[in-house]
Amino acid sequence: MKPVDIAVIAVCAAVYAVIGRLTDFGVTFIGVAFWPAAVIPAIFAVLYGPWVGGIGAAIGIFARDMLFHGDPLLSLTAGVSSNFVMFFIIGYVSRRNLDSKKLLLGTVFAVLIVIAGLLLPTILMPGQFASFTGLSTWLIVAIFVVTVVVSLSVILIASIRWREWRSYGVGSVIGQGIGAAIVAIGVWGYSQIFYSATAYFKAPIQASLIPIIFIWTFATEIPFVVLVGPPIIKACYRAFPSLRPRNKTKE
């Protein structure tokens, strides 16, 4: 890793922590914050590579968590690990020139991640989901359908209309899906061990809430990553042409 990479990681972490804390608006769902700031390390991952995006995001989320709830173990369990994996994948896949076969396989894999995360609460456990959220069964099914359709549409639109962003679209859905799964399982697992009247979690989280945490994490981050990221990245390419990859690695 070059000295410039270390400097950029520091910038990414600082901006991510500060903007993340300013834009979460104090809104959380079972310990997981509303997170439009996810677009920041995604941009760094595309411009400077997966290691910069992943490490910068991991450090940044840790700093933000210390400002928010101050529990380092919770941050390391759910936040640091998920952020590193999420943005490393986005940076890695976005720098690949996917052929039609790889794009199709990536799309299928991305959709399977989304379906796996949404199928359990919306189809297999509508009763538990409805009792917790107060939503009707039909609305639950609608959430499932809309989320899958939107995820597919994002990838297809990026692939057809903006060919230069198709790898970014696939990488974003895969990265966000895996990252959301790590967050959901990590938060649940942490709550099973570290809970008390004075801790962040007062009681263990039910396992049936894992898919709901997945939905919240995925749905509150992917729109910002996919819709806000490309225009900013494109503007950075215009302002600093040296940041644009000359030749993407073919896959």
Render 125-145 in DSSP notation, one character per residue.
Answer: -HHHHHHHH---HHHHHHHHH
> Residues 180-186: what's their mean pLDDT?
90
Of the candidate ranges 14-23, 64-73, 165-174, 224-233, the one whose mean pLDDT is the lowest? 165-174
User: How many structural domains compose the chain?
Assistant: 1
Per-residue pLDDT at 64: 93
Domain that holds residue 92: 3-250
Q: Which of the two residues, 108 and 39, has the higher pLDDT score? A: 39
Cα dihedral 11, 16, 21, 24, rounded to 10, equals: 160
Position 15 pLDDT exceeds 90: yes
CB-CB neighbours of 247 under 10 Å: 6
The pair of structure tokens assigned to 192 is: 């099973």
pTM: 0.82
How do residues 20-31 score in pLDDT, each as one tens digit?
989 988 788 787
How do residues 161-177 score in pLDDT, each as one tens digit?
666 787 888 888 889 88
29 — phi, psi (to 5°)?
-135, 105
Are 155 and 108 within 8 A, CB to CB?
Answer: no
Position 14 pLDDT exceeds 90: yes
